[in-house]
A and B are shown apart, each in its own frame.
Chain A
Amino acid sequence: MTTKPPSSLRLTTVDTEDTVRIEVHGDLDYDNADHLLLAVTDKLAEHPRLGDLHLHCAGLELVDSMGLSILLMIHRRTSAAGVRLHLDDRPARLDRLLSLTGTLEHFTAPLTEGAEGSPGSSAEPPQTGGETTPAGPRDRTAPP
């Protein structure tokens, strides 16, 4: 468990072997969004066998265009690494931004890239808050 301090963006991460969960609190904006990308990039490098990356978004406040750009970049990187990205517990505001910009589908569509496409795995993030996708051994995917 690590906490990144200074900015108004705070990240709390919880790792298991094949799942990383990052709780995002504060503003994902022009000044801070980079931190999240760095954190995700680090996690991808640390866990080569990662199957699922959960960004827990309930604590997200402002997301500006730079923040969205960073989310798109994170999606691009996770897809390239064959990791499923989940934007969990999205606040209504984030949902509005994603649907306005036509990116909601992009973020929630099943993973198409990469060698592994274990059917039935949780590509669709939960639409209601509270419960997160269970992260257990059954989600574990074989290394390519």
Chain B
Amino acid sequence: MRHAPYPVFVADGQGTLLLRSDAAGALLPGARPGAVFTDVVPAWLSAAHDALTEPGRRAGRAVHTPVSGAISERSFEAHSSVQDDNSVVWWLIDDTDHQLVRDALQMERERTEFLAKTSNLLLSSLNLERCMDVTAQLAAEYLADAALVIAPARGQRLPVVSCLRGDSPVRSQESADPDDVPGLDEALRGFPPVPSRWIDPGVAPDWMVPADFGPVGSIVITPLPGHGVAAGALVLLRRSGTAAFTEGEEVFARLFATRAGAAMSAARLYAEQAAITEVLMRELLPPSLHQISGVDFSGGYRPSEDHERIGGDFYDVHPAAVEGEASLVALGDVCGKGLEAAVLTGKIRNTLHALLPMADDHQRMISLLNTALVNSHHTRFATLVLASAIREGSGVNLRLTSAGHPPPLIVRTSGEVEEAATSGTLVGAIPETRARTAAVTLAPGDSCVLYTDGITEAKGGPLGGTEFGEERLQRVLAQCAGMPSEGIVEHVQMLASQWVGKGRHDDMAVVVISAPRTQHLSAVNGRTRGRYTS
């Protein structure tokens, strides 16, 4: 027993130490035979001994669950066996290394879980400010006493989000020079981080330390890597009372920063794209229409809700440059979606504007527009309708030309709806174009409806998958007979929207040209020709 390779104690039911091995003596020199066992061993072991030997407990050679605890900075597991005479043999096994490995595993699991949580939280947002907030909050919660997320300088100012552990993140703009803080400028430029032990916590400027934080004990400054350029820098602060950052913690902070930086970078790219889209949309927004030279114009546009994809419908009304000439309406639909479609739309609108002097010759206008658009790289095309409208007496004379577009519909006051007899080739894809122009006269109260296929191809209805269709549009328009132009636009848009319900739809554009209902100012019996208001 004395030479057992492990520390072994034998103590009787009264708590007297009977025997010990040499190894046990080396571990606890005070534990000599004859000593009171519970006095010389640590509390966790003496409590276990008391529990085993308490009176009334049935003695026996039972094996009991081991207990564990620390003895002079090492960790032990104590296995007991109770002898027939109610004495207990304690075997102690040093499991310090085992415990260390177990702790490391536990920590690794917690870190992995934390990183997964980080990714989940950050990737669910495409808002840059929210990403910065979440990053600062997570870092303050798990990595430091306080954390700052600093975005690259905007002009002279550094956008900063700081967060104290347990607090909410605070946004601010600091007019500070990143050069003043060692390692910050480098981090903002995406250079590898400076080891924490090289940064003197005393140099942290006031703006970096949250109010009431107290003296700073240690600092970590690490870059937030982005796509190509750094997304910012992460600053971790610990109070002087807290343990300084270990090398392992710094490495872990970098892992965290990688995820946070990727999310912030994605959010920034998205924000830039959204800004471009918005600028383009503003540029592409159709004009508000009104009466021009005695002709009523109304338009309505409902863009597709697919935000990433800027729509391809457009319309414009160009009032006649000279009184007595026709105004020109152009309504069209550009193939495809997104930036390329938006650029093509802009090109078409500008080209048509420049071609206005020849608006009396639709064919020529379309042919020149086609030449300007045809391009060897792609066959992206547009279909459009040109309508020249001029007041003639109480009516309106129209010249309508379709370039591959659904022909305009004429709504008579009687409720008749007719398709204008025009057709032609689309523009932008094939070198030669041809188009047939239709001449139509609108009597007072008659309307001409230009629309894009976003309306007729809108899918919905009671069963969900039916197209709105041309026939339904014609039926709807028949009920609009005699309505003012705005009324028709609203009615068509409302019904098409109801048809689609919550479903996805393409852009929908409608323009209505009407001959206003006239009021006879001096008509006597309704047979003589009176004067009209215009």
Contacts and interface: CB of A to CB of B under 8 A. Distances in A.
Answer yes or no: are A and B bound together in one complex.
yes
A66 B435 CA distance: 22
Interface string B354-383: 000000000000000000000000111101
A30 B337 contact: yes
Interface in A92-142: 99-103, 106
Tell me what chain B mostly uses at the interface: helix, strand, loop, or mixed: loop
B336 A30 contact: yes
B379 A76 contact: yes
Interface in B371-429: 378-381, 383, 403-406, 423-426, 429
Given A69-B379, A73-B379, A103 B335 contact: no
Contacts of A106: 425, 430
Given A65-B336, A69-B429, A102 B378 contact: no
A68 B381 contact: yes
Contacts of B429: 69, 72, 103
B130 interface: no
Nearest to A101: B404
A69 B427 CA distance: 11
Contact of A72 (B312, B337, B379, B423): B379
A66 B336 contact: yes
Interface string A57-73: 00000000110111011
Contacts of A69: 335-336, 378-381, 429
B111 interface: no
A30 B430 CA distance: 20
B336 A103 contact: no
Contacts of A65: 312, 333, 335-336, 381, 383
B383 A72 contact: no
Given A66-B336, A69-B335, A69-B336, A103 B379 contact: no
A76 B376 CA distance: 9
B406 to A, nearest CB: 7
Nearest to A104: B425
A114 to B, nearest CB: 15
A92 B406 CA distance: 16
A101 B383 contact: yes
B157 interface: no
Interface string B434-451: 110000000000000000
Nearest to A74: B379
A102 B335 contact: no
Tell me what chain A mostly uses at the interface: helix, strand, loop, or mixed: helix
Interface in A9-34: 30
B63 to A, nearest CB: 62
A102 B333 contact: no
Contact of B404 (A70, A73, A100): A100
Interface string B7-38: 00000000000000000000000000000000
A70 B429 CA distance: 10
B496 to A, nearest CB: 18
B336 A102 contact: no
Contacts of B381: 65, 68-69, 72, 101
A102 B434 contact: yes
Given A73-B379, A103-B425, A103-B430, A66 B403 contact: no
Contacts of A30: 336-337
A100 B380 CA distance: 17
A51 to B, nearest CB: 22
A3 B379 CA distance: 26
Contacts of A68: 335, 381
A72 B430 contact: yes
Contacts of A101: 381, 383, 404, 425-426
A136 B51 CA distance: 101
A103 B382 CA distance: 12
A84 to B, nearest CB: 17
A102 B402 CA distance: 10
Nearest to A77: B379
A72 B429 CA distance: 7
Contacts of A70: 379
Contacts of B378: 69, 73
Contacts of B337: 30
A66 to B, nearest CB: 5
A141 B425 CA distance: 31
Nearest to A72: B379
Nearest to B425: A102
Contacts of B379: 69-70, 72-73, 76
A30, A69, A99, A102 interface centre (most CB from chain B within 10 Å): A102
A10 B380 CA distance: 23
Interface in B215-237: none
Contacts of A72: 379, 381, 429-430
A69, A100, A101 interface centre (most CB from chain B within 10 Å): A101
Contacts of B336: 30, 65-66, 69
Contacts of B380: 69
Contacts of B434: 102
Nearest to B380: A69
Contact of B426 (A66, A73, A76, A102): A102
Interface string A71-88: 011001000000000000
Nearest to B403: A102
26 contacts: A30-B337, A65-B312, A65-B333, A65-B381, A65-B383, A66-B335, A66-B336, A68-B335, A68-B381, A69-B335, A69-B378, A69-B380, A69-B429, A70-B379, A72-B379, A72-B430, A73-B379, A99-B423, A100-B404, A100-B405, A100-B423, A101-B425, A102-B426, A102-B434, A103-B430, A106-B430
Interface of B: 312, 333, 335-337, 378-381, 383, 403-406, 423-426, 429-430, 433-435
Given A30-B336, A65-B381, A72-B381, 12 more contacts: A30-B337, A65-B312, A65-B333, A65-B336, A66-B336, A68-B381, A69-B335, A99-B423, A101-B383, A102-B403, A102-B426, A103-B425
9 residue pairs, one from A and one from B, having the closest CB atoms? A102-B425, A101-B404, A65-B335, A72-B379, A73-B379, A72-B429, A101-B426, A69-B379, A102-B404
